[in-house]
Structures are given as C-alpha cells and as structure tokens.
A and B are shown apart, each in its own frame.
Chain A
Amino acid sequence: MKAAAFDYVRPASVAEACALLAGDGDAKIMAGGQSLGPMLNLRLAQPALLVDVTRIADLGRVEESADAITLGAVVTHAAIEDRRVADPTHGFLARVARGIAYRAVRSRGTIGGSLAHADPAADWVSTLTALGAEVLLTGAGGAQRRVPVEEFIRGAMSTALEPGEILDGVRIPRFSPAARFGFEKICRKTGEFAEAMGVAVLDPERGVCRVVAGAGGGRPVVIEASRGAGARLLERFADPGATRDMLIEAGLTGDEFKMRLHVAAVRRAVEEIRR
C-alpha cells in the first residue's frame, strides 16, 4: 500500500523541530523511517505532518567525555556497525548493530529513532538499558533533561517523551577494557522482530553487573547486582529454573513457550560473560 497523504518539513535545528512538533498535535518525527515507513505504507500510522530530523547537524554529533560518549540521535546502525563513531564498549555496540535487521535498513535506521519508537523487540531498547545509557531530551523552549533508558521506555511503543519533546542524543557510559558483554537474540528469521533477547554486562572495575531480558511484550526487565555481588548473581543463571524465577520476579510475563525463549536467551548471554 501507499502511505496516506502527509505534509513534510525538514527543520535545520532541534529548536525548529520542537516548535513544529508543538505546533501540530498530529505531527510525527521521522529519522531514518525504517520503522515508521512500513507503518505509514500499511496506513497503521497516518500523521498529518512528518518532521524529518535527519538534516539537523547536531543530531549527527559524537561527543566524547571522560566517562561517557554521546551519540546524536540520528547516528545510523550502519555507522556504529562500521565503527565510524566512537564506541565506549570496545566493540560491543558494533556487534549489536551488525545484527539489527538488514544492511539496507541499518544504513538509514537510527539509534535515537529506535529508542523513541520503543518497540520492545528492538536491539537498542534492551542493549542500552543493560548498558545503563541515558537519553537526552530537548523540549520546546530548549529545556533539556537526561533520562535513563530504563525509565525512558515505559512500555510497548511508549516512552517518557512529552508532547513537543525530541530525543536528541544517547549518552553511553564508558566501560573499562576488562568489561564483558553477552548478547543473545532469538528470531525466527534473521533480521526479523526478536522473540526474546538477553543482554548481560559485567564491568567489575565500574561495579556494574546487569542482566536484561528484552523483546517481551513491554519494557525490558533488569536484574542487577549491587557492587561486588556480580559473580554471585551470575552464578544463579546456571540453573534454568532459578533464571525463570528471577525473570518472573523482575516482572517478565509470557506464555510457557515465550518464557522458555526468554530463559534461553538470558542464560546464553550470561554464559558468554561467565566464560
């Protein structure tokens, strides 16, 4: 099908984009359009106005600080895959990016668009939750705030974005060279919507040990160890039954089949960092 008619604008700055959004309750931001495009073609989404933010130079920025790297919202999965942007995880982001959909989608799909779309099956939703990343939001009038990805994702396709607010970047903490990362995605077909996703992150130097189960129906669930308790927590994932109990305790839901997928994905991710 063809998309329903819409108006199209291409602001040159974040402020201009915010003003456009605030001026029309039926406006929608589009970055690469790799999730929105299909929804427009299928007429699931019929916004009156599309605000294309891919010509805003600020949104392609890469800022490096001592403890974090900030990627502008429209950095593509392909740019991350190709290591054309700095990677605070020593290659883990590139590995995740490489598994997102297909190259012809990664070349346009963006990290910020993926988070703002908040599809639970999206790789960045689970991965950036596990990494303890934060999103930078700019509202009309230039008000800025920083929200952990974990809180930003409210549920399936639901975020903490206020009307007129734009996700303008993602701040990802720097991990130590000794940090370990595990990632497992279960799909029926490569590049399709994930059925279950497990992400495990262990960085003893920073006192970080987080395990995330994603691609459920809603927001990813997080299981976290307090400083120094990482190894003990990871031990518990050796047992499938205990893993399942932890996931349910953390709020994950699903039928018997789906729970088995979640348990398998999470255990494989954890196994990778325990090795």
Chain B
Amino acid sequence: MTTVTIEVNGKTVTADVKPRTHLADFLREQLLLTGTHIGCEHGVCGACTVEIDGEISRSCITFAVACDGAKVRTIESFDDDPLMARMRTAFSTSHALQCGYCTPGMLIAARDLVRRKAAEPDLDIRTEMSGNLCRCTGYAGIIEAIETVAAEAPAVPVLADGRWVGPAPGPGATTPPTAAASAATRAAPAPAKAPAVKTTPLAAPSRPIKVEVGPVTVENGETRFTEGFALDHPRDAVWALMRDPEKVAGCMPGLTLDPPTADDRLTGRMEVKLGPISAGFSGEGAFARDDAAHRMEITGRGSDRKSGSRASGRVAYTLSDATGGTSAATRVDCVIAFTLQGPLAQFGRSDLVRDLVARIGEAFARNLDARLRAPDGAAVAPAELGGVSLVLGVLFGRIRRAVIQALGRGS
C-alpha cells in the first residue's frame, strides 16, 4: 500500500492504494465515483476518460499511485460547467447516446476537443473523437452534437501555457514522504537475480550468418515458419554438433537444458523476452533423430509460472550438402511451429514475432558457426541477441552453473 493525496473533483482525498490499482478502479471502488466507466481496460475504448491536471487521460491505464499530487476531474464534477452543459443539451437533441455506457468518456473528450480546437477551420471531429468507441449510435448523432457546440465560440479558456510538458502532474506535485519511504525500502539491494557474469573470452569470434525466414503463418492457434541458413563447414561436422540435443541447446539463445536422463527425455527452461514481456517456460521435450537423412525433430512443451501461460512447439531441421567448388558448406533448413496459450497468447502481433524469431535464428546460427570453428572443448560465449543481453547474461550464468553442477567442480 502506498498513501496518495489526490484532488478529486475539487476535494482533497488521502487514501492508501496498491500500486497496481489503476485510477478508474480507485475512483469507482474506493471513492464510489461510478460515473467513470470501464470498457476495455486496456486503453482502446475511451469509456474511462477523465481529466488529470486539465488534460484528458485514460484512467484505466494510468495508475492511481502515479496521480499522487494531481487534480483529477470526473464526469460527476461537470454539472455546473457551462461548456459541458451545452454539450449535454446537444447530446440530447442529437440523440448522441443510447445505452449511455460510452457517454461519460464521450462527453469529457468532446468538451476537451471543443475547448482546444473549436476555432480550427478544418476541425476533423471524426478523427479527433476516434479514441472513444460507441456501440449504439453509429456516431452520426455524436458528431452532430459536437458540431453544434463547436460552431459556437468556446466557453472556457484553453489550458495555460508554460505548464509541465510531461505526463501530469510532474515534479512540482511530488509529495516526498511516500516516494522517499517507498524508495528507501527498495534501496536495499535485493538479492541479485542475475549473478554478474564474466563471459569467457571468445575462442572463436562470432561472425554474422544470413538467416532467411519464411512467412509466418498462424493457423488454429499454431504459429509456423521456416528458417534456413548456410554454414561454411562440412555436413558431417555440422551434423556431429546438431545431432546432439545438448549441444544444440547450448547454441540456442534463451534455452537451458538440464543434465540428460537415461530415457532420452529432455527437461529444461526457455527464456523469451520481447520488450517488457518476459517469460521463462519450464518443461520437457523429446527428440527423434535420423542419422541417415541428417534430420532431427525436437518437440517440447512447458509453462511459464509467472504468467500462467503454456507453450508447446516443435523444430524439425534437415541438413543438406551445399558444398560448391573448394569450400565445404552445409545448408540447414528448419521448420518451426509453436502454440501459446494463456495471457501471453493475447499478444497477437505475428509481424513482431517474425522479427524476434529472425533475431533468435541469427544468434543461433552464429553460435553454431562459432562452436564449429572453436577448437575441441573450448568454451564459446553465446552471440548476443540484440537488446536481449540481460537474458543472455542470466542464461549464461545458468549454463555455467549447470555445467559446474553436472561436472561436479567449481571454478
């Protein structure tokens, strides 16, 4: 709990809030100001629009704790506002509402628009209001109502110049006690989750390998794509490495395998990080190998304890001889498919996933190449995946620890 002091509709409120409580919940559940409606709860629909220090904002993606020291204004406080009175009348006249769910947010956004831009000759109300969704009216009545009010001169002055240019309320509003107390409790360094990792000097510097990624398709919840690359090493040498799941895992950014079991089952952990999204899937897998065809298929499934998401996937790769002229080369073709279930599956941006898998593929190919060029037994530091160095630091620490445990000696 953190104590915040917020001026809500002209009254100063001091309350304890959990950091995760967003402003809309705080207003509705703690202050019983239920005029602020919650629709999508992730910043898309606009039903929760309120004013924070005079600027309209989404209260569902603004945390109450971040509003400490701010002035918040909800629909309940606009009763005596002349511009809002005109807007309400226009909404009634133009039938700009039916069920009324979107109306509080719609009114606050519409009043703000008229206040700021009524004088603009090419005011595009439809575009400006596109952040507020209405499922009843088809918008025609809403646009007409706003047009009516905008046609008259704005009734209230626009926001003052010279105010803070960052998100409200800004540094001027800081109330030191909570921030300082809170910071103090956090200042004691938590036990380091990622031990400082000293990477072994590269036995063979990694060099970039071009990886071709085919189109990413999503069918029945399964994401599929192909990746292909060539390595400047003879097929037998590449196969000797890639027929061994443990060695393959060692080249895969984010993947850590436990020591092998007798029955060919694999257990381990896969770390994935995409921006603020990070997950660690623990699980198990199996592999099927065809030495004659230089083909391997690895399947696995696991779950991320933190988010409660589950993942399953398979990778099948085939090696073919791409030797031309005097230099030996091997082509590696992979077919990769995975399924995500649970909260993480909501991230439906397959185009971003493609970029991520391409970068993982490049790091994987680099690591394979570096290992193939390293003298036998030499340690190879994994190639860094752009922007994911933290995970690799953690991972590398884990690999080293795993190796140390497996071999039963310290370093």
Listed in ascending order, the chain A residues whose CB lies under 8 Å from chain B are 1-12, 16, 19-20, 23-26, 28, 30-34, 36-47, 49-50, 52, 54-57, 59-60, 62, 72, 74-76, 78-79, 82, 84-85, 101-105, 107-110, 117-120, 154-163, 189-191, 193, 216-218, 253-255, 258
Given A1-B41, A254-B351: A108 and B167 within 8 A (CB)? yes
Residue on A nearest B158 in the bound complex, by CB: A82
B262 contacts chain A at the CB level, 8 A cutoff: no
B355 close to A37 (CB less than 8 A) = no
B131 close to A104 (CB less than 8 A) = yes
A37 to B387, CA, bound (A): 21
| 14 additional contacts (CB under 8 A) given A34-B58, A107-B167, A108-B52 | A5-B20, A7-B19, A10-B179, A24-B193, A44-B346, A57-B171, A84-B163, A104-B58, A157-B352, A160-B387, A189-B130, A218-B358, A254-B351, A258-B351
Given A34-B61, A103-B56: A158 and B388 within 8 A (CB)? yes
Which size class do B's interface residues fall under? 35 or more
Listed in ascending order, the chain B residues whose CB lies under 8 Å from chain A are 2, 18-22, 25, 41-44, 46, 49, 52, 55-58, 60-63, 65-66, 68, 109, 112-113, 116, 126-128, 130-132, 161, 163-168, 170-171, 173-174, 179, 182-183, 186-187, 189-190, 192-194, 213, 215, 274-278, 306-307, 343-344, 346-347, 349, 351-356, 358-359, 386-390, 393-394
A57 to B126, CA, bound (A): 36
- Residue picked from B66, B274, B343, B346, most chain A C-beta under 10 Å: B66
A154 to B356, CA, bound (A): 10
Task: List the B side residues contacting A108 at CB < 8 Å.
Answer: 52, 55, 57-58, 62, 167-168
Residue on A nearest B66 in the bound complex, by CB: A52
The one of A76, A85, A191 that contacts B130, using a Cβ cutoff of 8 Å: A191
Residue on B nearest A113 in the bound complex, by CB: B167
B66 close to A158 (CB less than 8 A) = no
Task: List the B side residues contacting A60 at CB < 8 Å.
Answer: 164-166, 170-171
A50 close to B62 (CB less than 8 A) = no
The one of B52, B354, B393 that contacts A217, using a Cβ cutoff of 8 Å: B354
Residue on A nearest B131 in the bound complex, by CB: A102
Task: List the A side residues contacting B276 at CB < 8 Å.
Answer: 28, 36, 39, 44-45, 47, 117, 157
B20 close to A218 (CB less than 8 A) = no
Given A20-B186, A57-B171, A72-B166: A105 and B352 within 8 A (CB)? no
A-B contact pairs, 24 of them (CB 8 A): A5-B18, A5-B20, A8-B2, A8-B66, A9-B186, A11-B179, A24-B190, A25-B394, A34-B58, A39-B276, A45-B278, A54-B170, A55-B171, A55-B174, A75-B165, A101-B131, A102-B130, A103-B131, A108-B57, A118-B387, A120-B355, A157-B275, A161-B387, A162-B389
- Residue picked from B65, B167, B277, most chain A C-beta under 10 Å: B167
A8 close to B182 (CB less than 8 A) = yes
